[in-house]
Chain A
């Protein structure tokens, strides 16, 4: 099993959610995040006062997937999240040892 984590532009969340649901992904976790990658922050000037926006708002999306589905889920996310411009985000996959559904106690892929 794999945990797929994606950092996305906030406005792309709806598109990614819709695409994942169409792909058969039924559950995901979304949280607010801030950070920067190669785009870095940028400096803004308003009425002589300069302030640095060094952490750019993003959303963090997490999806659990079976080993066989992980790559296709990543493809769906990347396709839906891409605008082609800097700051589109990142997606990474991490291995997961065990998953348990709290309500039923099911374990492994059945709990996804």
Chain B
């Protein structure tokens, strides 16, 4: 089975058509058959690719020089002998009729792009070929969107070749028809399509189709489950799983190139309104990274050796903006990983880990970016553990995706649950790697527990976090298995969970992971019925557990306590490779948190974490911030001066932040879940605890602080944490004259916060 056989089959058909053509021409047209009449092959036959079950698509071209009856007799004499041996799809047209048909019917046009002379007048076929290619080229702006729309309908009807249990090799997304579409796009000349990248995929799928036709003796292109073993064996694969993995890999490659080609067609060199630009506009969106022609690119002249985190930053930025990465930038990142320039140290720096979490947490838009990283083989440079999972088939009715795509889909669902947990970073990481142990005879949960530990440690998680991640991977099926198979009323069932899940935090994470895993598996493995059982189990376990999920107010050192007693402003700044750590002791006043957050943000510093606590007349604050792209360097003196100025008049800071918010509004963004605001009146003595979980954005803490200050409420202490693209802020607040808030006051502050974070 192979290209040569398909070509030989096509040549054989050519030979029999050739002799039939000349015999029929001689008998019915009384000519030698060279002038004014021709027989051409179109479609797959035109390309010389005939599978055993393929149709013979032929076009008989004439110039209306023969009476209708003689022409009919000629066509019948040509076709009758074929009908016993082939499925023939024919048309009889003049050159003008062919152009007309091509202009009015996309399917005809696509078939004609591959027109090839079989017999008769070569000039007639050459003229038609010229007409078709010229028209396709000239009308590409109208025809390509038509092609895209027809493909979308087909994809909806036929599903995705890479993931279906019984896919149609020709019609499904990523299948042979899509390869032909790519060829048609290339022929339009509207954009360069690197077709050589899919030649492997094309021959893999063609070989499969040919073998399917041979082994089943039918001309159907749907690869049924029961046929997969036979086809795999005929093609020399170890088993059907190995064959379906290769099918998935090929289909994903085709789909990737197609998606990217459409993007190029729609955006390359154009502005937001689709107008062509002489020089593409670029907007700086992160350190050394810009957006140009709606693609994320690495800025010119950037040395990846000096900034090895840039690859992950590009991926995270693209995912968070919902834009693709340019192919040139992908090539640059890939090359840097091969040369060693872009290889990350172990453990990864904090920024690399945060970028990975931002990427995983971007929801739907992460799927496309992850596919790019996979297809360009970049992800293996960062996470070699991903390679054995690539397109790993799960041929059963329970799963709807390959192992790697299932984990990506789980991460997508997990991203919708980040507001439900206190450690969204651990949830997202566990979601992306929960099935890392698959592809081996050993139990995948046990193997996964072993494999996740070195990976998590290399990515830079603390040893406590590594243990939590191991538990999450090992027990990711525990809750659903227990909920459906054990008696929830039996205390022993609850005790069995508590035995292995040590705290509320892990339970909360495991619950979210179970839901995300179930949702990603699909309706065969997850339902409201199961979700209700799992929730019931979690609720019962939570009742039986003790402890708190809240971040505790920070403790102050003796030195900090002493400084706080003085009530004098003091700023200490320490520079790190990825940003600054700042300690501020300041006379306390209502709104101090938002004031300092606002000053930092106006200096283009992103707050990554903050711990603040009031003591005596002062507030002691510890901040970790990272500078944005092109942010100027700051010194202790600068920062102190800015804070003093803001104490006198906050208006300039507010104006600066407003201007920045406006500038940010022009940058694309992805849809994110609304913030979650929780009030707890019984969680602290003499204070109400407000927990805000939100997607991080510039000025977030300033807005939260301002809303609280406007409610005439004092912030006694605060713990602010940014994990990837998610922020969790825990604020201990009191009335200005002390004491926790009443229920009504708490509601008032909640409403104000919701409004501020809209």
CB-CB nearest 4 A-B residue pairs: A32-B529, A57-B533, A57-B529, A10-B484
Contact B489 A57 (CB under 8 A): no
Interface membership of A85, Cβ < 8 A: yes
Q: A33-B529, A83-B487 are in contact. List 10 more A-B contacts (CB 8 A).
A: A10-B483, A32-B529, A34-B528, A34-B532, A46-B539, A48-B680, A53-B532, A53-B536, A57-B533, A57-B536
Spell out A's residues near B (CB within 8 Å): 9-14, 32-34, 44, 46-48, 53, 55, 57, 83, 85
Residues of A within 8 A of B486 (CB): 11
Q: Quick one: given A47-B678, A55-B532, A57-B533, are A9 and B487 in contact (CB under 8 Å)?
A: yes
- Report Cα–Cα, A94/B13, bound state, in Å: 65
- Report Cα–Cα, A14/B530, bound state, in Å: 16
Interface membership of B488, Cβ < 8 A: yes
Residues of A within 8 A of B483 (CB): 10
Residues 452-495 of chain B, each 1 if its beta carbon lies under 8 Å from chain A, else 0 = 00000000000000000000000000000001111111000000
Residues of B within 8 A of A55 (CB): 532
Least CB distance from A33 to B in Å reads 8
Q: Which of A11, A33, A44, A48 contacts B484 (CB 8 A)?
A: A11
Residues of B within 8 A of A85 (CB): 489
Q: Which of A10, A46, A48 contacts B533 (CB 8 A)?
A: A10
Contact A11 B488 (CB under 8 A): yes
- Report Cα–Cα, A55/B529, bound state, in Å: 9
Of A11, A12, A48, the most chain B CB neighbours within 10 A belong to A11
B535 to chain A: closest residue by CB: A53
Interface membership of B527, Cβ < 8 A: yes
Residues of A within 8 A of B485 (CB): 10-11, 13-14
Residues of A within 8 A of B527 (CB): 32
Majority SS at the chain B contact face:
helix
Chain B interface size band reads 10 to 19
- Report Cα–Cα, A34/B536, bound state, in Å: 14
Spell out B's residues near A (CB within 8 Å): 483-489, 527-530, 532-533, 536, 539, 542, 678-680
- Report Cα–Cα, A30/B486, bound state, in Å: 17
B532 to chain A: closest residue by CB: A57
Least CB distance from B546 to A in Å reads 15
Residues of B within 8 A of A13 (CB): 485
- Report Cα–Cα, A55/B533, bound state, in Å: 11
- Report Cα–Cα, A82/B539, bound state, in Å: 24
A33 to chain B: closest residue by CB: B529
- Report Cα–Cα, A91/B8, bound state, in Å: 67
- Report Cα–Cα, A62/B483, bound state, in Å: 22
- Report Cα–Cα, A53/B488, bound state, in Å: 14
Residues of B within 8 A of A53 (CB): 532, 536
Residues of A within 8 A of B536 (CB): 53, 57
- Report Cα–Cα, A33/B530, bound state, in Å: 10
Residues of A within 8 A of B489 (CB): 83, 85
- Report Cα–Cα, A14/B487, bound state, in Å: 12
A34 to chain B: closest residue by CB: B529
- Report Cα–Cα, A18/B623, bound state, in Å: 61
- Report Cα–Cα, A45/B4, bound state, in Å: 70
8 A-B contact pairs sorted by A residue (CB < 8 Å): A9-B487, A10-B484, A10-B485, A11-B484, A14-B485, A33-B529, A34-B532, A57-B532
- Report Cα–Cα, A55/B535, bound state, in Å: 13
Q: Quick one: given A9-B487, A85-B489, are A47 and B680 in contact (CB under 8 Å)?
A: yes
A32 to chain B: closest residue by CB: B529
Residues of B within 8 A of A57 (CB): 529-530, 532-533, 536
- Report Cα–Cα, A18/B702, bound state, in Å: 62
Contact A44 B680 (CB under 8 A): no
Residues of A within 8 A of B539 (CB): 44, 46
Residues of A within 8 A of B528 (CB): 34
- Report Cα–Cα, A46/B511, bound state, in Å: 15
B549 to chain A: closest residue by CB: A47
Residues of B within 8 A of A12 (CB): 487
B691 to chain A: closest residue by CB: A47
A83 to chain B: closest residue by CB: B487
- Report Cα–Cα, A11/B488, bound state, in Å: 8
- Report Cα–Cα, A13/B483, bound state, in Å: 12
- Report Cα–Cα, A46/B530, bound state, in Å: 20
Least CB distance from B485 to A in Å reads 5
Least CB distance from B20 to A in Å reads 47
